[in-house]
């Protein structure tokens, strides 16, 4: 097989990965909203027990925060994330200090190397998979190194 076939396969795989990540982000937020809706409706309807899927709270708060940061078009602060959550209808009223909770989640995400504070100003961006272009560049660099090694032989 030629190198071109592998390059095309890599490009296709990267595009599919990028699309899958976007879909996962949308589903993460949708699941979080529905979990909150079920909880709220069960309280209002005075039902003690609500039949739900096996895993309750499938989407963790930290996952929601990470998804908000990843979907943002620019670096965001904890306050920005709180506003994003409010805009999408996420109920933060059950938390006594939601901003501290968001900030703590962001610090844990930073420690886990999932987000970074690029300018050291308290605004974070998600650490993403490499873009298709950066992967192509790395592939070209590897090809050049291999060609140089082969020429030495």
Tell me if 87 is assigned to some domain. Answer: yes
Task: Give percent of the chain above pLDDT 70.
Answer: 88
Task: Note the pLDDT tens digit of each residue in 110-140.
Answer: 988 889 998 999 999 988 766 667 777 778 8
Question: Whole-angstrom Cα distance, residue 78 to residue 122?
Answer: 8
Tell me if 141 is assigned to some domain. Answer: no
Tell me if 12 is assigned to some domain. Answer: yes
Tell me if 136 is assigned to some domain. Answer: no
Is the pTM value of this prediction over 0.75? no
Nearest to 93 by CA among 3, 101, 50: 101
Tell me if 52 is assigned to some domain. Answer: yes
Tell me if 146 is assigned to some domain. Answer: no
Please, which pLDDT band fits residue 149 given cuts at 50, 70 and 90?
confident
Total domains in the chain come to: 1
Tell me if 135 is assigned to some domain. Answer: no
Residue 139 · residue 83 · CB < 8 Å: no
Give the domain range for residue 124: 3-128
The CATH number for 115's domain is: 1.10.10.10
| pLDDT for 69 | 94
| pLDDT for 4 | 83
**Four-point Cα dihedral 85, 78, 72, 64, nearest 10:** -50
Higher pLDDT, 131 or 71: 71
Tell me if 144 is assigned to some domain. Answer: no
**Four-point Cα dihedral 128, 25, 83, 53, nearest 10:** -140
Question: Whole-angstrom Cα distance, residue 99 to residue 107?
Answer: 12
Task: Note the pLDDT tens digit of each residue in 15-48.
Answer: 888 888 888 888 888 888 888 888 778 777 776 5
Sign of CA dihedral 48, 50, 51, 56: negative
Sign of CA dihedral 115, 31, 21, 82: negative
């Amino acid at each position: 097989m030629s190198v071109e076939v592998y390059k095309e396969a890599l490009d296709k795989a990267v595009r599919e990965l990028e699309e899958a990540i976007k879909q996962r982000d949308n589903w993460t937020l949708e699941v979080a909203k529905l979990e909150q809706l079920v909880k709220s409706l069960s309280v209002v309807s005075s039902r003690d027990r609500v039949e739900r899927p096996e895993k309750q709270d499938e989407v963790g708060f930290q996952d929601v925060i990470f998804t908000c940061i990843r979907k943002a078009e620019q670096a965001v602060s904890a306050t920005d994330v709180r506003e994003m959550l409010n805009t999408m209808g996420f109920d933060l009223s059950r938390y006594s200090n939601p901003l501290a909770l968001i900030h703590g989640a962001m610090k844990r995400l930073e420690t886990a190397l999932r987000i970074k504070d690029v300018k050291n100003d308290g605004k974070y961006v998600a650490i993403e998979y490499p873009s298709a272009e950066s992967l192509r560049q790395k592939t070209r660099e590897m090809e050049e190194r291999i060609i140089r090694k082969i020429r030495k032989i």
